[in-house]
């Protein structure tokens, strides 16, 4: 799976990393649903961290279609409320 963090770049996620990112995605959805800004920031920052540290960066000159696009790191909970709904960014 290829994930793009808006404004940063793309990362290829192995299946086990994808599962962790999906769990964090679900935590972000719960925080948004609960209107819990502190929990949102913790889960969203951890989601970004796992993608960055455990994903394999896709070279900028490689043209790959993104399976998932994650909002930029400075996204507020209000802005994220339209992205992190239902199944979140990563279904499954």
Residue 11 included in any domain: yes
In tens, the pLDDT along 1-48 reads 999 999 999 999 999 999 999 999 999 999 999 999 999 999 999 999
In tens, the pLDDT along 63-72 reads 889 999 999 9
Say what the pTM is. 0.91
Domain that holds residue 70: 2-80
Nearby residues of 63 by Cβ (< 8 Å), 6 or more positions away: none
Q: Which of 60, 81, 44 is nearest to 10 (CA)?
A: 60
Residue 87 included in any domain: no
Residue 56 included in any domain: yes
Residue 85 included in any domain: no
User: Sorting pLDDT into bands at 50, 70 and 90, what band is 75?
Assistant: very high
Query: Is pLDDT above 90 for 81?
Result: no
How many folded domains does the chain comprise? 1
Residue 53 included in any domain: yes
| Whole-angstrom distance, CA of residue 51 vs CA of residue 5 | 9
């Amino acid at each position: 799976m290829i994930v793009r963090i808006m404004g940063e770049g793309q990362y290829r996620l192995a299946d086990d990393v994808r599962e962790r990112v999906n769990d964090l995605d679900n935590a972000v959805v719960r925080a948004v649903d609960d209107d819990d800004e502190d929990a949102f920031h913790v889960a969203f920052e951890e989601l970004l961290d796992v993608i960055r540290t455990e994903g394999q960066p896709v070279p900028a000159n490689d043209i790959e279609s993104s399976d998932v696009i994650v909002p930029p790191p400075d996204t507020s909970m209000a802005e994220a409320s339209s992205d992190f709904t239902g199944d979140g960014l990563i279904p499954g």
